[in-house]
Amino acid sequence: MKCRHCGTPLTHTFLDLGFAPPSNAYLSNQDLACPETYYPLKIKVCDVCWLVQTEDYAQADELFRSDYAYFSSTSTGWLAHAASYADNIIKSLSLDQSSHVVEIASNDGYLLKNFLSANIPCLGIEPTESTASESEKLGIPVLREFFGEELGLRLSANNLQADLIIGNNVFAHVPDINDFTRGLKALLKKSGTITLEFPHLLCLINNSQFDTVYHEHFSYFSLHTVQRIFNSAGLRVLNVEKLTTHGGSLRVYGCHFDDIRETCMDVSQIIETEIEAGLQNIVTYQNFQIKADCVKDDLLSFLVNCKRSGKKVAAYGAAAKGNTLLNYAGVKPDLLSFVCDAALSKQGKYMPGSHIPILAPDALRKYRPDYVIILPWNLSAEVIAANDYVHSWGGIFVTAVPNLHLHQ
């Protein structure tokens, strides 16, 4: 395999999680009687451009199916994050009725509805039927396609170039990162702005966030690598912000390379921080497997001890990162009775690989578990606040990443 960006042969393994099914391929009762597809989940790192990337096995259309079960609007915290972003970017770029906003991977309209309410013309690009339909119910026009250079050129030729292109947590989901980035350039107006949000590789490494690795994430980014990818397509990283979302993310602001706006100092400062942390030193990547194994082993020991002592354990949040963690640890229903999730699209189904049943949140009241493991640990404050009644019977919330922690 060669690097998706620079073409260098990949010889260094960053992380090997064995075999796993796609993390968002939730199962119905009928699916349990059928074979389940597993793919190798191995992550490589390029020692030239430092792009961290999955080995090529699963294809995008196998991962992002028409019944895709992730709906962005399920999280109240994420909705607030989207609304705040929209309000700020509308003001900073002076967007109005003459502007055009395009969001790539617009999901269920969680973000574009804020531009719609401000009377700013917008377009969503979303290949999954389940989420695109929800977006259209809000009045948002949606193209059901995967984005790349061909689509960017086609929209540009139809006078649909964008003043603002948004990509929240989509850059990592792209198999052909160079084609996607060239598409951004083709779609962007001369003085337009791109904003991309993605989990920061530095946070993944520093905080042992190996459960954010799954097949739907083809790439894991440092700012250094994103800057290289942008430059190769004739774009420039204009500014960057640190975010707390997804355990630590970056929001990158991009523009055409010859845009008159000056690059902010924050860009070079964050890249320097990455270098100091060893993100351009192969030893940093070779030592990460040990961190992942410690998280896995601690969780498994905790669950086995709970079973031996007769304690009841459930989980909250049927998140993709939870599936990575449970499958790597080999957790099955004998150790974890069920997972609660607020998304109706997941309730009544089963976690891929582990086959743990997914129930509505009120199952916690019925079964009164001693421990509730929060699988989307990045939302732990939101989950605890929404389900604080668990404490009434002495229940304790638990997170496993970056280390096992009881929230007492």
Residues 250 and 297 in one domain: no
Tokens of 60: 């995008």
Q: How confident is the model at residue 58 (pLDDT cuts 50, 70, 90)?
A: low
Average pLDDT, integer, range 299-326: 97
Residues 321 and 366 in one domain: yes
Residues 157 and 261 in one domain: yes
Dump pLDDT digits (tens) for 361-398.
999 999 999 999 999 999 999 999 999 999 999 999 99
Q: What is the CATH number of the domain that holds 385?
A: 3.40.50.720
* pLDDT at residue 267, rounded to an integer: 98
Rounded Cα distance between 98 and 118, Å, is 12
Rounded Cα distance between 38 and 58, Å, is 9
Q: How confident is the model at residue 62 (pLDDT cuts 50, 70, 90)?
A: low
Residues 267 and 214 in one domain: yes
Average pLDDT, integer, range 200-229: 96
User: Among 284, 261, 264, which Cα is nearest to 52's?
Assistant: 284
Rounded Cα distance between 149 and 402, Å, is 38
Question: Is 355 contained in some domain?
Answer: yes
The chain-wide mean pLDDT, for the chain, equals: 94
* pLDDT at residue 171, rounded to an integer: 97
Dump pLDDT digits (tens) for 316-346.
999 999 999 999 999 999 999 999 999 898 9
Question: Is 353 contained in some domain?
Answer: yes
Q: Is the pLDDT of residue 69 over 70?
A: no
Q: Range of 229's domain?
A: 146-285
Residues 354 and 314 in one domain: yes
* pLDDT at residue 76, rounded to an integer: 86
Average pLDDT, integer, range 54-77: 64
User: Among 195, 199, 254, 194, which Cα is nearest to 221's?
Assistant: 199
Q: Percentage of residues in the chain with pLDDT exceeding 90?
A: 90
Q: Is the pLDDT of residue 66 over 50?
A: no
Return the minimum-mean-pLDDT range out of 69-78, 80-89, 270-279, 290-299. Answer: 69-78
Residues 248 and 311 in one domain: no
Dump pLDDT digits (tens) for 125-149.
999 898 999 999 999 999 999 999 9
Question: Is 396 contained in some domain?
Answer: yes
Average pLDDT, integer, range 256-270: 98
* pLDDT at residue 80, rounded to an integer: 94
Which of 285, 316, 350 represents a domain boundary (last residue)? Answer: 285
Question: Is 213 contained in some domain?
Answer: yes
* pLDDT at residue 77, rounded to an integer: 85
Rounded Cα distance between 164 and 122, Å, is 9
Return the minimum-mean-pLDDT range out of 128-132, 253-257, 273-277. Answer: 128-132
Residues 216 and 255 in one domain: yes
pTM: 0.91
* pLDDT at residue 6, rounded to an integer: 98
Residues 270 and 177 in one domain: yes
Question: Is 122 contained in some domain?
Answer: no
